[in-house]
Chains A and B, each alone.
Chain A
Amino acid sequence: MVEEEGFRRYVAHIILWIGIAIVAFPVYIAIVASTQDNALIANGQMSLLPGGHFFKTYYQTIFIGTSGSTREPVGNMMLNSLVMALLIAVGKIAISIISAYAIVYFRFPFRMPIFWLIFITLMLPVEVRIYPTYKIVADLHMLDSYAGLSLPLIASATATLLFRQFFMTVPDELLEASRIDGAGPLRFFWDTLLPLSRTNMAALFVILFILGWNQYLWPLLITTRDDMQTIQIGIRKMITTTDALTEWPIVMATAVLAMLPPVFVVVAMQKLFVRGLVETEK
């Protein structure tokens, strides 16, 4: 065993706590600011301790919104973000798992070309095709809709690859056994393969939910109506107006609310999160 002397161990603890402080400080400031009076903040007199406006600010943020810039309740924005994130996560998993199933368990003409068509989309992130994609979504009358928000982000080569890799490790005997039981391809998928994939699906879901909730550029382009805004877009619009008019406590409360669901997912489902992160990078 490599011995760690007491002194070095103290140093390690101290460095880690400094790291944690650096990582947490911006968020601490946001939480503190969301409980204080706007006038105080605007004067640059903000205190580093929590103020007394917690309930007032969060109530206004969630149910009413800012009084100046967006006027849209953040509760509604969160709902939009939630629907978009769920559609993206569930949609990606659903269409990837069935296409991976077809590619692994069937032989059919154009099998490999189709696989490559899906695979190459890894190299076409939404950022490099924004305007043409925008035009198509507009032509399909999907601007300001949940379909427009989620469909162009739903195809996922990573998820397909992941399921393909996993299916390859499933022993052939399972298929033979269920075939003897008289099960067809759909039965086998539903009764055998799907239950086996549960952990993979959960890990993937955690990552995809976070990525979906945090989408920015695409919703920014295709939402024009205030009631279709996601929370990430809403927060940007709140600070559009010149500094003097920005309602900082509400902006910071919105930032806190925007962080809450994905951070909760990471902390509460840490094991799945780490697994999903490592697997999707392979």
Chain B
Amino acid sequence: MQKQAIFQSKLLPYALVAPQLAIVLIFFYWPALQAVIQSFLLQDAFGLSTSFVWFDNYLELLQDRAYFEAIVRTFFFSFAIAVSSLSFALLLAVMADKPLRGSMLYRTLLIWPYAVAPPVVGVLWIFMLHPSLGVLSRYLRVLGIDWNPLLDGDQAATLIILAAAWKQISYNFLFFLAGLQSIPRSVLEAAAIDGARPMRRFWTVTFPLLSPTIFFLLVVNIVYAFFDTFGIIDTMTRGGPGKSTETLVYKVYSDGLLGGNLGSSAAQSVILMIMVIVLTGIQFRFVERKVTY
């Protein structure tokens, strides 16, 4: 697609793209290239000499049990966050889509958590469910649950998933509501005339028509769980206890910062880049279908 009416100028267009191009080259391509180069290098313990080691950093990673576990954990987190947040948001959106009094107020009261930063989400949830002073922990103890997410890895993981899903409810709710509102009423009326009860109407008409939105949100939620949970994890558990809440992004951060193992950290970055490229590719392919659906 191209404009027919255009301007003629030799230098002006370059001047206009120059700022964006400069930033992209300096802060995106150069570091990305450095990460790729770094991932093929091995530095000795004192940082005095580096040698080219081909794919050794990658091979080492792939044989590293901790890395494998971080991959599995990240996918598990993504799946759990996406499913719990999506199903709750869908329930709310279906309710808010009904012709109710005050539906605008409901929308306002449900969308604002989008604006809460991940580290703040982490602080809010760890405070509520803190083993010694949390308001909700008291009740868990009354129920006989030995609640201590600072020591118990599974409980820490549950906490991260709950907090991350909580933050994502509003985003999913908004997109579900938009998706529901774009379903033609006539289709639902036709189903009603055919005698389909509301539950049946939902599963046989609404849900299939909503599937593009669901798929789109699934991808967005997975990307969110990969990257934006960093702040939540860092304020709540710092990847612990042990390594039970360490995701791939958190591992890049902590290996590079604490371990000083730049070659491995760079190789991890490159693997992450490939994952983002795949996810973005899926998202784009899909968005095109959403438009023509």
Which A positions have Cβ atoms within 8 angstroms of B? 1-4, 8-9, 11-13, 15-16, 19-20, 22-27, 29-30, 33, 41-44, 46, 48, 94-96, 98-99, 101-108, 111, 114, 117-118, 121-125, 127-133, 135-136, 151-152, 154-155, 160, 167-168, 172, 175-176, 184-186, 188, 210, 213-214, 216-217, 220, 232, 235-236, 239, 243, 248, 251-252, 255, 258-259, 262-263, 265-267, 270, 273-274, 277-278, 281-282
Contacts and interface: CB of A to CB of B under 8 A. Distances in A.
B273 A128 contact: yes
B86 interface: no
A154 B9 CA distance: 27
A106 B9 contact: yes
Contacts of A136: 26-27, 30-31, 34
B56 interface: no
Contact of A118 (B20, B106, B115, B171): B20
Contacts of A94: 19
A214 B24 contact: no
A184 to B, nearest CB: 8
B61 interface: no
A46 B21 contact: no
Nearest to B134: A44
B209 interface: no
Contact of A124 (B28, B166, B170, B220): B28
Interface in B81-129: 88, 91-92, 95-96, 98-100, 106-121, 123-128
A235 B124 CA distance: 11
A13 B191 CA distance: 24
Given A117-B25, A128-B270, 11 more contacts: A27-B116, A105-B3, A105-B6, A125-B227, A129-B28, A131-B35, A132-B32, A235-B120, A258-B117, A259-B117, A282-B287
Given A216-B234, A217-B231, A258-B120, A155 B17 contact: no
Interface in B236-293: 249, 252-253, 256, 262, 265-266, 269-270, 272-273, 276-277, 280, 287
B51 interface: no
Given A160-B20, A217-B231, A133 B31 contact: yes
A74 to B, nearest CB: 13
Given A127-B272, A175-B5, A278-B178, A27 B99 contact: no
B106 A129 contact: no
Contacts of B91: 15, 19
10 contacts: A26-B128, A99-B20, A102-B13, A103-B13, A130-B253, A131-B256, A152-B27, A172-B5, A243-B133, A281-B175
Contacts of A127: 227, 230, 249, 252, 272
Contact of B1 (A124, A168, A243, A265): A168
A217 B24 CA distance: 19
Given A98-B16, A262-B116, A13 B21 contact: no
B116 A24 contact: no
A217 B230 contact: yes
Contacts of A46: 133, 135
A26 B24 contact: no
Nearest to A47: B135
Interface in B21-48: 21, 23-32, 34-35, 38
B63 interface: no
B146 interface: no
Would you list the 4 A-B pairs with minimal beta carbon distance, nearest first?
A132-B31, A262-B115, A214-B117, A102-B16
Contact of A130 (B96, B111, B252, B270): B252
A48 B19 CA distance: 52
A151 B272 CA distance: 23
A132 B30 CA distance: 8
Given A13-B100, A20-B109, A278-B178, A263 B24 contact: no
Contact of B109 (A24, A98, A132): A24
A104 B231 CA distance: 38
A261 to B, nearest CB: 8
Contacts of A281: 175, 216, 220, 287
A43 B132 CA distance: 8
B253 to A, nearest CB: 7
Given A43-B133, A259-B120, A155 B110 contact: no
A103 B17 CA distance: 8
A160 B21 CA distance: 12
B268 to A, nearest CB: 9
Contact of A108 (B14, B265, B269): B14
A95 B185 contact: no
Contacts of B277: 123
B95 A15 contact: yes
A23 B110 contact: yes
A176 B3 CA distance: 12
Contacts of B269: 128-132
Nearest to A45: B133
Contacts of B166: 22-23, 26
Contacts of A214: 115-118
Contact of A98 (B7, B19, B26): B19
